[in-house]
Structure 1
Amino acid sequence: MEIKINGKECTCEKGEFLLEVAKRNGFDIPTLCHHPGLAEQGCCRVCIVEVVENGRSKVVVSCVYPLERPCEVFTDSEKIKEERSVILMLLKTRAPASLEIQAMCDKYGVFETSRLKPVDGEKCILCGLCVKACGALGTGAISTINRGVTKKVATPYENPSNDCIGCTSCAQVCPTGAIEWSEDGETRTIWGKNFALAKCESCGRIISTEAELRFAGERAGVETNSLCESCRKKSMADVLAHTYGIE
């Protein structure tokens, strides 16, 4: 199927999400809550674009908009620039401490207003990526709690979670740097809980937390190997070399 993006003819499959087609063809559409490893969120609205079908224009969220018929797309029309500026203004008000959002505001422009009061020190935009990543892993250690203006992401009762394994998957997918964690070489701290670090028995490189290593072994039903990726490949190569008599 043929569509046109900013005047360029592009080919796509029916049902493909517009964001992926645009990215594949070299068009820059900003995103926050989109992550290739997780199902579509469509909650931050930063990736809006203008779609014209049968002479009618509409604004859509490109990360969750499936292409069903030929159309013309504008990623940076004046209408989109104006609406995206308002969206960024609202996000900046919600999470004024996020350097990532500030950088996006600087790049794409933001509608300035003094009518809204920023949430002091906040970085989270409640996109839900961290909760989804934790759930996909199978731990479900965090979730959104409370409602309205007090809604936030936290562990149950905001106490250290028995289910958390310190893998930092939540922090890795967070688009605004809201989830903080630290390491001192022996211990990793996240969500108010300390985790002993597991190190490669060959080179001493940090692999993960001991809790994450146990969790992975239990899910796979095998005894976990305390080797980093590089040492594991080297060990496998040594075994194959010995098996086939290769010096």
Structure 2
Amino acid sequence: MTEFQPDNQIQIEINGRACTCTKGEFLLEAARRNGFYIPTLCHHPGIAEQGCCRVCLAEVVENERSKIVVSCVYPVEKPCKVYTDSERVKEDRKVVLMLLALRAPESTEIQALCRQYGVMDGSRFKPIEGEKCIMCGLCARACASLGTGAISTVLRGTSKKISTPYDEPSDVCVGCLSCTRVCPVDAIPYTEDETKRSIWGREFPLVHCQECGAVIGTREEIALAAGKSGEEVQDLCPECRKKKMSDVMAHTYGTE
């Protein structure tokens, strides 16, 4: 008896092993879900794929024809054979990593990948000194998703970078650190002490939980969140708010 196969399910082969994926599912997700490792830099689960870094290359064979694809933006539409670490993939990935290393020679993440894949020596080319950023754009997209748009891509060519307009402190930045949290190469510096956080040329006062004293965020960040949710500005951290709500429920229903 033939096993029932839903119309939207596709049988593919990854590194010689039979796997199932959903039609239209990006190859990177299908591979990872089935336990296969593909390196990435510009991929983030909370932000739509963009295929900027090209580290996640894979080889796809359809109808005996082979091609190299960017797995994070390649939708699987038909049965195929996939190789995540073939010789062709390794060689192409080495070239990509060498170029990224020239772009961001100070990135320890890229250096680690270069060692892992035995990247060829690129010393005959001139690297961009002191640079970590690989221009994946995740930080700018994360910032835009908040509705602030404090940072973006500026300049062109080898001078291209992520920054605030005219490299001046941005009036719309709220110091939320969303940009730093999605950066795959730790390229966005900031400092923080008990009372303030400094990033993108601005200092932001930190707000502490009135119960436990934990940092909730910057004053501007909390005001933005309150404005979006229509709620009052919070003076409690999520854990203390949860505990307070539990106490209220316990008092209301007499379960104390």
Q: 2:199 aligns with which of 190, 214, 217?
A: 190
Which deviates more from structure 2 when the two are superposed, residues 103-112 or residues 30-39? 103-112
Partner of 1:22: 31
Counterpart in the other structure of 1:153: 162
Alignment pair present for 1:83 and 2:82: no
Q: 2:68 aligns with which of 50, 56, 59?
A: 59
SS in 1 for 2:109: helix
Indicate the residue corresponding to 2:7 in structure 1: none
Helix, strand or coil for the counterpart of 1:12? strand
C-alpha contact (below 8 Å) 2:57/2:70 kept by paired residues: yes
- TM-score of the aligned structures, taking structure 2 as reference length: 0.95
Match of 1:208 in 2: 217
Which residues in structure 2 correspond to 1:153-172 (within 5 Å)? 153-172=162-181
Structure 1 residue 221, shift from structure 2 partner: 1.7
What do residues 192-231 of structure 1 show as CA deviations (whole Å, max 9, x unaligned)?
1000001101110001101100111111122122111111
Aligned length: 247
1:3 aligns with 2:3: no
Structure 1 position 107, deviation (Å): 1.7
* Unaligned 5+ runs, structure 2: 1-9
Is the deviation greater in 41-50 or in 96-105?
96-105
- Ranges in structure 1 where 5+ consecutive residues have no aligned partner: none
Deviation (angstroms), 1:122: 0.1
Residue 149 (structure 2) pairs with residue 140 (structure 1):
yes
SS at structure 1 position matched to 2:60: strand
Give how far 1:111 is off. Answer: 1.7
Q: Is the 8 A contact 2:51 2:73 kept in 1?
A: yes
* CA distance in structure 2 between the aligned counterparts of 1:171 and 1:206, rounded to whole angstroms: 17
Distance 2:149 2:167 in 1: 14
Cα deviation, 1:154-205, whole Å, max 9, x if unaligned, reads 0011000000000000010001111011101100000010000011011100
Does 2:136 match 1:127?
yes
Match of 1:98 in 2: 107
Deviations 1:34-55, CA, capped at 9 Å, x for gaps: 0000011101000000000000
Q: Could you tell me which residue of structure 2 aligns to residue 107 of structure 1?
A: 116
Q: For the residues of structure 2 that align with 1:57 and 1:139, how far apart are their CA atoms?
A: 43
Q: Does 1:32 align with 2:41?
A: yes
Range with bigger deviation, 105-114 or 17-26? 105-114
1:57-112: CA deviations, max 9, x gaps?
Answer: 00000000000000000000001111101110100010000111111112222121
Q: Secondary structure at the match of 2:49?
A: coil
SS of aligned partner of 1:230: helix
Q: What's the Cα RMSD here?
A: 0.7
SS where residue 69 of structure 2 aligns?
Answer: strand
Does structure 1 conserve the Cα–Cα contact (< 8 Å) formed by 2:102 and 2:122? Answer: no
| Paired AA for residue 187 in structure 2 | A
Cα distance in 1 for partners of 2:239, 2:231 equals: 20
- Distance of 2:189 and 2:220 partners within structure 1: 19
For 1:128-154, what per-residue CA distance to the aligned partner results, in whole angstroms no more than 9, with x for missing partners? 000000001111000000111111000
